[in-house]
Amino acid sequence: MNVVKEYFWDFIGLFYPTTCRACNSVLNKGETWICSNCMLDMPKSDYWTDKNNPVNQLFWGKTPIQFASAFLLFSKGSRYRKLIHSLKYKNDQESGIRLGALYGKEIAKQSEYPKIDYIIPVPLHPKKQKKRGYNQSDCIAEGLSETMKIEYLNNVLVRIKNTQTQTKKHKDERWENVKGVFDVQNIDFVKGKHVLLVDDVITTGATIEHCALALIEKANCKVSIGCLARA
Ligand SMILES: [Zn+2]
């Protein structure tokens, strides 16, 4: 950056300091997005190193998933929840891309991790996406794609029914609520390929399991799962 420009932004920074999106402390020079402390303390799960991890176990005896993991584990009141919340509800797409990129970096280091052909985000219903302006899972997929060096496709898996939110539903209701909601288009792109399905938060796994089933049944895909956080 040229010197004049740099002074200008330092000057502006006096009045509008940029704060860490997790803990709200003022960012130091050279820090962007979140502060160094929050970067270091990130509650990473390490689930991508262990095939017997609790997220993978959600699918045991139900749907044949190759490898499932979540990037972060939140304790109650964790400041990192804010990142996911602002990604979903406050147009903070950058947090999704950056977290996705960090997650992808970890997966890419893992030589035992299965070889993935494409990354596929869990879709929103077109109406919902129009209202929100973006799909938060697209942001995560974009970040993962950047560091895993694997293309992401958001024109394959589609949501054909607009469902009510899952948050207040019990386990069985969640399963019924997402039945027949997803469909697969442009099947030739992914036929027989190994795809990494991507979502923000995994709770019971019902939504993502229906996505996986659609891809397995309609396009004969192998499916792995990567979520930003485990609720
Ligand atoms: Zn911070």
What is the whole-number distance in angstroms between the Cα of residue 208 and the centre of ligand 1? Answer: 31
What is the whole-number distance in angstroms between the Cα of residue 41 and the centre of ligand 1? Answer: 9
Cα 75 versus chain centre, distance: 18
What is the whole-number distance in angstroms between the Cα of residue 82 and the centre of ligand 1? Answer: 11
Given CA atoms 89, 94, 98, 104 in this order, what sign does their dihedral have?
A: positive
Q: What is the mean pLDDT of residues 18-41?
A: 94
Instruction: Report the pLDDT value the prediction gives residue 178, as an integer from 0 to 100.
Output: 73
Given CA atoms 137, 138, 140, 141 in this order, what sign does their dihedral have?
A: positive
What is the whole-number distance in angstroms between the Cα of residue 20 and the centre of ligand 1? Answer: 5
Give the tens place of pLDDT for each residue, 99-132: 999 999 999 999 889 999 999 999 999 999 999 9
What is the whole-number distance in angstroms between the Cα of residue 10 and the centre of ligand 1? Answer: 20
Give the tens place of pLDDT for each residue, 145-178: 999 999 999 999 999 988 766 666 676 766 666 7
What is the whole-number distance in angstroms between the Cα of residue 22 and the centre of ligand 1? Answer: 5
Instruction: Report the pLDDT value the prediction gives residue 3, as an integer from 0 to 100.
Output: 72
What is the whole-number distance in angstroms between the Cα of residue 127 and the centre of ligand 1? Answer: 35
Instruction: Report the pLDDT value the prediction gives residue 162, as an integer from 0 to 100.
Output: 83
What is the whole-number distance in angstroms between the Cα of residue 81 and the centre of ligand 1? Answer: 12
Task: Report residue 156 as tokens.
Answer: 């394959």
Instruction: Report the pLDDT value the prediction gives residue 231, as an integer from 0 to 100.
Output: 83
What is the whole-number distance in angstroms between the Cα of residue 21 and the centre of ligand 1? Answer: 7
What is the whole-number distance in angstroms between the Cα of residue 77 and the centre of ligand 1? Answer: 14
If you compute the radius of gyration of the chain from its CA atoms, what whole number of angstroms results? 19
Instruction: Report the pLDDT value the prediction gives residue 10, as an integer from 0 to 100.
Output: 67
What is the whole-number distance in angstroms between the Cα of residue 67 and the centre of ligand 1? Answer: 31
What is the whole-number distance in angstroms between the Cα of residue 75 and the centre of ligand 1? Answer: 16
Among 5-19, 111-125, 126-140, 193-207, which stretch is predicted with the lowest mean pLDDT? 5-19
Instruction: Report the pLDDT value the prediction gives residue 185, as an integer from 0 to 100.
Output: 96
CA distance readout (Å), 30 to 4, 55, 92, 215? 17, 35, 20, 43
Among 15-29, 34-48, 135-149, 188-202, which stretch is predicted with the lowest mean pLDDT? 15-29
Confidence at 41, pLDDT banded by 50, 70, 90? very high
Q: What percent of the chain has pLDDT over 70?
A: 89
Q: Can you spell out the DSSP letters for 85-110?
A: HHHHHS--HHHHHHHHHHHHHHHHH-
What is the whole-number distance in angstroms between the Cα of residue 144 and the centre of ligand 1? Answer: 22
Evaluate if residue 179 carries a pLDDT over 60. Answer: yes
Please tell me whether residue 78 adopts helix, strand or coil conformation: coil
What is the whole-number distance in angstroms between the Cα of residue 31 and the centre of ligand 1? Answer: 10
What is the whole-number distance in angstroms between the Cα of residue 137 and the centre of ligand 1? Answer: 23
Evaluate if residue 11 carries a pLDDT over 70. Answer: no
Instruction: Report the pLDDT value the prediction gives residue 168, as an integer from 0 to 100.
Output: 67
Q: Average pLDDT of the chain?
A: 91
Nearest 5°: phi and psi at 146?
-60, -45
Instruction: Report the pLDDT value the prediction gives residue 175, as an integer from 0 to 100.
Output: 65
Q: What percent of the chain has pLDDT over 90?
A: 78
pTM for this entry: 0.89
What is the whole-number distance in angstroms between the Cα of residue 84 and the centre of ligand 1? Answer: 14
Cα 87 versus chain centre, distance: 10
